[in-house]
């Protein structure tokens, strides 16, 4: 079987206007930095709102006006009145905030390098070419759904093809939306979230993984299924194994396990609870004192939960092997100090501005999600 020779023009850092941290900000001492951030925030007042994803470092979440999962942060961005939304998260989240906020609001992503590797596994240009191959193999109507963890141009592509965006907390509802309007779903980029959602809907026997770059992966065969999964994954969550759950339960017979749906199917199956980062937070929040919860997600969130709920015994599911997210980690407090102090001086740094031609359509895909 032959696969198309796809041409790609991929760039990890889509926004070439983003600037590096000036040398004077590179070695600030923690207390001094905290004071400077607070002073800048006092000066800026209601002009600024800081949104922080659950995976952000402690030194960032301590300054956040709102902490949450990616769905909650997009809602918070939609509700924000501030002139400036400072996004403690990764590029695709800041893009979504820019799409959702009014034109006179500005979104700032403090660091230039906070790009989620999974979002980079399905660039719109690749998907466009792959889509032509896939749709040429069937007369049935395929609806593309992209996980929030994707760039604005892919969200725009999905809207154009009748599809939408979802997050880990509403993927099942996005699938239902798609099956009410079409025959098949192409889910991008996270194959594990796609597979876990298919199971939740009882459609596990109707899914196929498809990798247009793998000569063994056949588009004609893939479209015989109702759910086609793009070959993307999150390296932080792929790391968890069933053996980690078995080991935890052996060491702590009373342990409960909660994992994110970006984990492998068998890990989700073996866990007690599965859900988005906000579900993970709620699970620990609602636990009885002295309960033990092992957390299968990014390590900063596990550490926050352990700090926020000292009455609960919070453990990282795979101990020292649990990873932090390389992209989320890029938002460091030195960058935060710099962008805020620059704003005090009237200078906007590291603004994320989605191209107008992508913005309108990506907004359609996001609005469809916010309505389901
Ligand atoms: P949530 O939507 O659960 O916050 O997850 C975002 C994310 O990037 C998980 O890796
Ligand atoms: Fe991307 Fe995984 Fe990091 Fe989430 S944890 S932002 S999916 S790399």
With a cut of 50, list the residues of the chain below it in pLDDT.
1-12
Predicted local confidence at residue 370, as pLDDT: 86
Predicted local confidence at residue 210, as pLDDT: 95
CA distance linking residue 334 with residue 114, whole number of Å? 14
Nearest CA to ligand 2 atom 1: 116
Nearest CA to ligand 1 atom 6: 70
CA-closest candidate to residue 27, choices 337, 285, 355, 237? 337
Region for 23 from its dihedrals, namely left if φ exceeds 0, alpha if ψ lies in -120 to 50, beta otherwise? alpha
Q: Which residue has the tokens 């006006």?
A: 65
CA dihedral 143, 144, 148, 149 (to 10 degrees): 160
Predicted local confidence at residue 100, as pLDDT: 92
Q: Which long-range contacts (CB under 8 A, 24 or more apart) does 219-223 make?
A: 219/133, 219/134, 219/136, 219/137, 220/137, 222/134, 222/137, 223/134, 223/137, 223/138, 223/140, 223/142, 223/184
Predicted local confidence at residue 345, as pLDDT: 98
CA distance linking residue 138 with residue 352, whole number of Å? 38
CB 315 within 8 A of CB 278: no
CA distance linking residue 146 with residue 122, whole number of Å? 9
| 205: Cα within 13 Å, side-chain hemisphere | 0
- DSSP strand pairing (313-316 vs 184-188): unpaired
Nearest CA to ligand 1 atom 4: 69
Predicted local confidence at residue 13, as pLDDT: 58
Beta bridge partners of residue 108, listed in sequence order: 86, 351
User: What residue spans of the chain are helical by DSSP H?
Assistant: 30-44, 58-61, 70-79, 91-100, 124-135, 152-160, 171-181, 191-200, 219-222, 235-238, 242-251, 265-270, 277-285, 299-308, 333-344, 356-371
Predicted local confidence at residue 6, as pLDDT: 37
- Mutate which of 147, 167, 280 for ligand 1 pocket (most atoms within 8 A of beta carbon): 167
CB count within 10 Å of CB 112 equals 19
Q: Is 325 annotated for ligand binding?
A: yes
Q: Which residues line ligand 2 (CB under 6 A)?
A: 90, 116-118, 149, 234, 236, 298, 325, 327-328
Cα distances (Å, whole numbers) of residue 14 to 17, 62, 345: 9, 29, 27
Domains in the chain, ordered, with CATH? 11-116+328-354 (3.40.50.10800), 241-317 (3.40.50.10800)
Predicted local confidence at residue 113, as pLDDT: 85
Q: Is the CB of residue 95 below 6 angstroms from any atom belonging to ligand 1?
A: no
CA-closest candidate to residue 325, choices 115, 92, 120? 115
What's the 344 CA to ligand 2 centre distance in angstroms?
31
Predicted local confidence at residue 112, as pLDDT: 77
This model's pTM is above 0.75: yes
Predicted local confidence at residue 217, as pLDDT: 87
Predicted local confidence at residue 226, as pLDDT: 98
């Amino acid at each position: 079987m032959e696969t198309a020779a796809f041409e790609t023009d991929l760039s990890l850092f889509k926004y070439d206007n983003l600037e590096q941290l000036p040398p004077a900000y590179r070695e600030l001492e923690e207390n001094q930095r905290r004071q400077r951030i607070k002073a800048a925030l006092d000066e800026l007042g209601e002009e600024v709102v800081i949104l922080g994803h659950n995976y952000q470092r402690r030194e960032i979440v301590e300054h956040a006006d709102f902490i949450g999962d990616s769905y909650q942060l997009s809602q918070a961005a939609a509700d924000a009145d501030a002139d400036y939304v400072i996004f403690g998260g990764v590029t695709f989240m800041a893009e979504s905030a820019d799409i959702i906020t009014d034109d006179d609001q500005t979104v700032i992503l403090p660091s230039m390098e906070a790009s989620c590797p999974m979002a980079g596994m399905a660039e719109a240009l690749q998907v466009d070419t792959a889509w032509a191959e896939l749709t040429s193999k069937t007369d049935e109507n395929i609806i593309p759904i992209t996980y929030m963890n994707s760039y604005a141009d892919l969200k725009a592509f999905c809207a154009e093809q009748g599809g939408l965006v979802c997050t880990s907390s509403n993927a099942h509802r996005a699938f239902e939306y798609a099956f009410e309007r079409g025959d098949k779903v192409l889910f991008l980029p996270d194959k594990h979230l796609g597979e876990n959602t298919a199971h939740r809907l009882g459609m596990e026997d109707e899914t196929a993984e498809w990798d247009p770059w793998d000569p063994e992966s056949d588009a004609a065969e893939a479209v015989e299924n109702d759910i086609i999964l793009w070959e993307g994954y999150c390296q932080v969550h792929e790391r968890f194994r069933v053996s980690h759950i078995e080991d935890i339960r052996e060491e702590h017979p009373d342990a409960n396990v909660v994992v994110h749906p970006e984990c492998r199917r068998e890990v989700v199956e073996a866990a007690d609870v599965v859900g988005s980062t906000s579900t993970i937070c709620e699970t620990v929040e609602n636990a009885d004192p002295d309960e033990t919860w092992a957390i299968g997600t990014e390590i900063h969130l596990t550490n926050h939960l352990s700090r926020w709920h000292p009455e609960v015994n919070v453990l990282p599911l795979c101990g020292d092997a649990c990873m932090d997210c390389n992209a989320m980690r890029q938002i460091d407090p030195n960058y935060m100090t710099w962008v805020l102090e620059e704003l005090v001086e009237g200078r906007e740094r590291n603004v994320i501005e989605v191209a107008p031609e992508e913005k309108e359509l990506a907004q359609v895909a996001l609005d469809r999600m916010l309505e389901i």
